[in-house]
Structure 1
Amino acid sequence: MPPLSVPSQRATAADLASRIEQLRSTQPRTVVAISGYAGSGKSTLAKTLAATVEGCTRLRGDDFLDPTGSHRRSADWDGVERTRMRHEVLEPYRRGEPVRFRRFDWHTRELAPVEELPDAEVLLVDAIGILHPDLQGCFDLSIWVDVDLETAGVRGRQRDRSGGHDHDRLWTEVWLLNDRDFAARFDPRGQADLLYVPEDVS
């Protein structure tokens, strides 16, 4: 387990946008990791920042989830295809090269045809399990959506139910346990540069 550390500060969405703008002004390409427990609000924050910060594009974590691996118990979220994400997207993006990758298509249950990532100065990556040694050195800024595990699970189940999906068993038997074990092993909250608490979480 890595040594526990304490992120420097909590930040609002406006603070995060300002920090990303500062980074963008000093380098040609900036990669931002947005992570947190499943159900914490990673995607919502990523969408907010993508709409706020000029020159942004977003990479969805769901596009790099293995459907079998993401539905089984794992202490390091091995259902997240971190190696493919690193080699197909993050490394070529940081080198300033065109990025061609394949999303996982959840309708066909296989990888979709190759597509090109839009050219952008800032790449936002929102996903579980990315504040991990496999992706060390890939991010210029890392953000942890700071919602506790129990609350994140409640939010995630409510979101799924409202979308017509019954994933209660997966939440109870897999996803919450994976998040718990991953946090104990890798301390992603402590490794993040900044903490963000969604406005609808007290």
Structure 2
Amino acid sequence: MRQDPLGSPGPLPRLAAEVRAARPSLGPVRLVAVDGHAGSGKTTFAGRLAEALGGAPVLHLDDLATHEEPFAWTARLREQVLAPLSRGEQAHYRPYDWHRRAFGPPRPLPAAPVVVLEGVGAGRRAVRPVLARLLWMEVDARTAHGRGRERDGAEQAAFWRGWVPAERRHFASDPSRPFADTLVRPGTREPALLSGPGREAAKPRCRDRG
């Protein structure tokens, strides 16, 4: 286990321990969402968190979205993934092929103790009731989109022209950040993990003793 300079576990091992200690949120599964703007580092962070969790399975929402329906994947998620996991059964979802523009053959997703769900909108209101934790990548939209465009190159320029306003509309009507338990600030070596607005809002307020 990686240690910080004072000898205590680093932020990812601490987060992994917190997640393992959480109550199951979907049948026997602790479903953890990693949300944020496109290009904010969700996929990389989700992979590192899954590794810290001992190899937890990761579901990428890009596998459920399509060109025509970038955010209308809720029914597919519920039917193909959430319903079987809630029964403690292995799920099977059909990943979307972005080159062929068609869904592929079913892919298994085990009902592991922890399953990581990553993608834009992973913390939307339709999913939050079954989440054990909601993590938000604390990278502003302009910076994240710039990184995404640089990563994807000129061949995806048309996609980004359509994506940016679609993402803006989604978060305007169904924001995730206000409900996040943890804010993740990517770092060159280790991410900084901060208490999120959702956790602060859940704290009991002290009674006025005056």
* TM-score normalized by the length of structure 1: 0.78
Higher deviation after alignment, 38-47 or 131-140: 131-140
**Correspondences of 1:1-202 after superposition (within 5 Å):** 12-23=11-22, 28-54=28-54, 56-70=56-70, 77-78=71-72, 81-161=73-153, 166-171=155-160, 173-200=161-188
How far apart are 1:133 and its partner, in Å? 2.5
Aligned to 2:205: none
How far apart are 1:69 and its partner, in Å? 2.5
Distance change in 2, residues 1:108/1:175 (3 Å) = closer
How far apart are 1:55 and its partner, in Å? 5.2
Whether the 8 Å contact between 1:58 and 1:124 is mirrored in structure 2 is yes
Gaps of 5+ in 2: 1-9, 193-210
Distance change in 2, residues 1:124/1:35 (3 Å) = same
Q: Distance in 2 between matches of 1:109 and 1:185?
A: 27
Q: Distance in 2 between matches of 1:22 and 1:63?
A: 29
Q: Distance in 2 between matches of 1:57 and 1:38?
A: 21
How far apart are 1:131 and its partner, in Å? 2.0
Which aligned segments of 4 or more residues in structure 1 are displaced greater than 3 angstroms?
11-15, 24-28
How far apart are 1:91 and its partner, in Å? 2.4
Deviations 1:110-167 (A, max 9, x none): 1112232235221101011232222241211111111001000111111112xxx522
Whether the 8 Å contact between 2:24 and 2:30 is mirrored in structure 1 is no
Fraction of identical pairs, as percent: 32
* Secondary structure of the corresponding residue to residue 57 of structure 2: strand
Whether the 8 Å contact between 1:144 and 1:195 is mirrored in structure 2 is yes
Q: Distance in 1 between matches of 2:175 and 2:112?
A: 30
Gaps of 5+ in 1: 1-10, 71-76
* TM-score normalized by the length of structure 2: 0.75
